[in-house]
Structure 1
Amino acid sequence: MTSPMYPPKPRPGDRVAVVSPSAGLPALFPHVYELGLRRLREEFGLEPVEYPTTRVLGADPRDRARDLTAAFADPTITAVLATVGGDDLITVTPHLDDAVLRANPKPYFGCSDNINVLNHLYRLGVVAYHGGSVLVHLGRPGRPHPLTFDSLRAALFTSGWYDLRPAPEWGDQPGDWRDPASLAVEPEMFPGEGWRWQGPSTMVEGRTWGGNLEILHWLMATDRVPSAGELAGSVLMVETSEELPSATEVFRILRNMGERGLLAGFPAVLVGRAKAWDFDRPHTPDERRDWADAQREAVTRVLAAYNPDAVVVFDVDFGHTDPQLILPYGGTARINAATQHISVRY
């Protein structure tokens, strides 16, 4: 494995690429997209640059790969932000020009299906960033979430250590993008209860890897994940999407990682807060609590079998819930179970 390399950071006033390597949802929800672009300009002082497929639904994977490669190749572009996730980015990464990506490393921000790109960059030795969707996070209804924007600002512009903080409030019920009026209404939030810690009271420092659990399963099926040896000593981060995989499915995916020899090598595991609501499954608050409890039990059970000595932190806000903390992907994280602190190096 190539030694990890942190790309140079942008500065306010720079041009940054805004791309849709997964789904071209700006074509369907331009009001959400334009809000995200406006905040990118006003809150961060960055000038977004669109590419031909940014607002195109169903663009050919080769065209999306061409745009992503072009964003890295352009010397006037200093960072690359994905608009949103999707479900077929796995067909795009084989068409990327790895020589261009290696020669022109830039901070890449994305989550959900963008794990395909984050993992691809990881295997090229380039540190990327989990989080920062233009539609979901920059285009959040009502107002930006302070924790999301604070960590995104730090990840964009700074290179030092950043202390993650438990969210004082959280939510997992987004507004309906089909209704432009929904952008005026802040999402429903619930009181935060802090992180939940399991395992030994020790400190772990290592490179981060992982992301959305469903996408990781696809990557394992296509044999595109690093080897157990390459990942040994890393910090695993896992979270689940709006497809709401059951606790049984979560257990089985992690069990497959264990059988592949991956789980035993992670001295620490960060588990994102379980998303437990979607439009076709509008769970009540009590049902959401039960859902999250079942997810935590599934993770605990599989780690007891494959890595009982791991430090495990549940309910870290880095997945498909709100707020979303930005985590370096392939960068360094420090998990101190004795003091119950998590720091990342941007």
Structure 2
Amino acid sequence: MPDPVHPPKPRPGDKVAIVSPSGGLPGLFPRPYELGLARLRREFGLIPVEYPTTRAWGSTPRERAADLNAAFADPEIRAVVASIGGEDQITVLPHLDRELIRAHPKPFFGYSDNTNLLLFLRNLGVVSYHGGSVMVELGRPGALHPLTARSLRAALLGSGPYELTPSADVGDVNGPWDAPETFESEPRTEPADGWFWHNADRVVTGIGWGGCLEILAWMLMADREIRPVEEYAGQVLFLETSEEMPSADEVYRILRNMGERGLLRQFPAVLVARAKSWSFGQPLEGPARAAYRKDQREAVLRALSEYAPESLAVFDVDFGHTDPQQVIPCGGPIRVDGPARRITVTY
């Protein structure tokens, strides 16, 4: 893969594109979307520019790709930010203008289904950023979590090394976006257990690659933006799971298949996000949420023991579908220091 290029970051007063590569959910849930836009203006000093399909529910993959192509081509746009994720962004990738985007690299922020675009950009040699959607992080009721705000500000407006830190408090339960009372206070949080380290007797530095595990599985099945496994040797794998809450068995089977492909053993270090363990479809109570997270960790450890037994791994890191959320560079350097129990990324 090409050597990574860090596109220049926006500065206060610059324009940033707001896009919905996976679907126009801002049109269905305007409250968190408008709140996120207001915070981009007020707290980050940026000017959001909305594209035609951003609020358009039912837009085609070709139409959404046209917005992305236009955002990267526009010289006044200094970064591209996803409104939210979804589930069909894989159908957008064939309509993207690879050479146009390669010629006009810009920082892109998104996660979940945006794993598609993150890995598309990685294959072009462009560093992108796993995290920071408008509706979820910027549109969080009450206020941004301080750890989220600090990381997002460093990644969106800054550059250079940034040390991730375990959060003292974490949240998992969300209020409905169509209920005004959801936005009257911050989401409930509870004390965090910190990070869990495995094989933490070494230091690994490598380029970050990964994203949402369910989306990675789809991309592997479609053979979309997946390079020969040897090209991932020495990189740092980062993984998270979504609010669809895959079972521990499913997580193990996805990783097993990655192992059978020869992919897992390429990564000397793995970062695993704290699993999202509550959703409206599975509203687990406290002990059941803890058990779900424990089962998922054991599933990952089982796969690693079989296919990458020497790899260093860190669990329950705050990225992906977590609150707070810290930004992970896709295609940028990550240093995992086991003896010192430190993770440093480069924005």
Q: TM-score range with shorter-chain normalisation?
A: over 0.9
Superposed displacement of residue 84, structure 1: 0.2
- Give distance in 1, aligned partners of 2:130 and 2:21: 15
What is the number of equivalent residue pairs in this alignment? 346
Superposed displacement of residue 23, structure 1: 1.8
Amino acid corresponding to residue 33 of structure 1 in structure 2: Y
Whether contact under 8 Å (1:234, 1:266) holds in the other structure is yes
| Superposed counterparts of 1:39-78, under 5 Å | 39-78=39-78
2:225 is aligned with 1:227: no
- Give distance in 1, aligned partners of 2:325 and 2:331: 18
Superposed displacement of residue 142, structure 1: 1.2
Whether contact under 8 Å (1:72, 1:105) holds in the other structure is yes
**Partner of residue 168, structure 2:** 168
- Give distance in 2, aligned partners of 1:256 and 1:80: 33
Q: Secondary structure at the match of 1:321?
A: coil
Superposed displacement of residue 65, structure 1: 0.1
**Partner of residue 275, structure 1:** 276
- Give distance in 1, aligned partners of 2:304 and 2:231: 20
- Give distance in 2, aligned partners of 1:31 and 1:195: 33
Q: Deviations over 1:43-80 (max 9, x none)?
A: 00000000000100010100000000100000000000
Amino acid corresponding to residue 263 of structure 2 in structure 1: L
Superposed displacement of residue 3, structure 1: 1.2
Superposed displacement of residue 285, structure 1: 0.3
2:237 is aligned with 1:218: no
Question: Structure 1 stretches of 5 or more lacking a match?
Answer: none
- Give distance in 2, aligned partners of 1:107 and 1:52: 20
Amino acid corresponding to residue 150 of structure 1 in structure 2: R
- Give distance in 2, aligned partners of 1:184 and 1:132: 22
**Partner of residue 153, structure 1:** 153
| Superposed counterparts of 1:1-346, under 5 Å | 1-224=1-224, 225-346=226-347
Amino acid corresponding to residue 267 of structure 2 in structure 1: F
Superposed displacement of residue 226, structure 1: 2.1
Superposed displacement of residue 180, structure 1: 2.2
Identity, in percent, stands at 59
Whether contact under 8 Å (1:89, 1:116) holds in the other structure is yes
Superposed displacement of residue 278, structure 1: 0.6
Q: Secondary structure at the match of 2:36?
A: helix
Whether contact under 8 Å (1:111, 1:131) holds in the other structure is yes
Q: Secondary structure at the match of 2:239?
A: strand
Amino acid corresponding to residue 34 of structure 1 in structure 2: E
Q: Secondary structure at the match of 1:162?
A: strand
Q: Secondary structure at the match of 1:53?
A: coil
Note the aligned Cα RMSD (angstroms).
0.7
Whether contact under 8 Å (1:200, 1:310) holds in the other structure is no
- Give distance in 2, aligned partners of 1:330 and 1:38: 30
- Give distance in 1, aligned partners of 2:75 and 2:246: 41
Q: Secondary structure at the match of 1:302?
A: helix
Amino acid corresponding to residue 331 of structure 1 in structure 2: G
Amino acid corresponding to residue 110 of structure 2 in structure 1: G
TM-score w.r.t. length of structure 1: 0.99
Runs of 4+ in 1 over 4 A off after TM superposition: none
Question: Structure 2 stretches of 5 or more lacking a match?
Answer: none
Amino acid corresponding to residue 334 of structure 2 in structure 1: A
TM-score w.r.t. length of structure 2: 0.99
Whether contact under 8 Å (1:29, 1:178) holds in the other structure is yes
Superposed displacement of residue 200, structure 1: 4.0
Amino acid corresponding to residue 266 of structure 2 in structure 1: G
Whether contact under 8 Å (1:162, 1:345) holds in the other structure is yes
- Give distance in 1, aligned partners of 2:38 and 2:182: 17
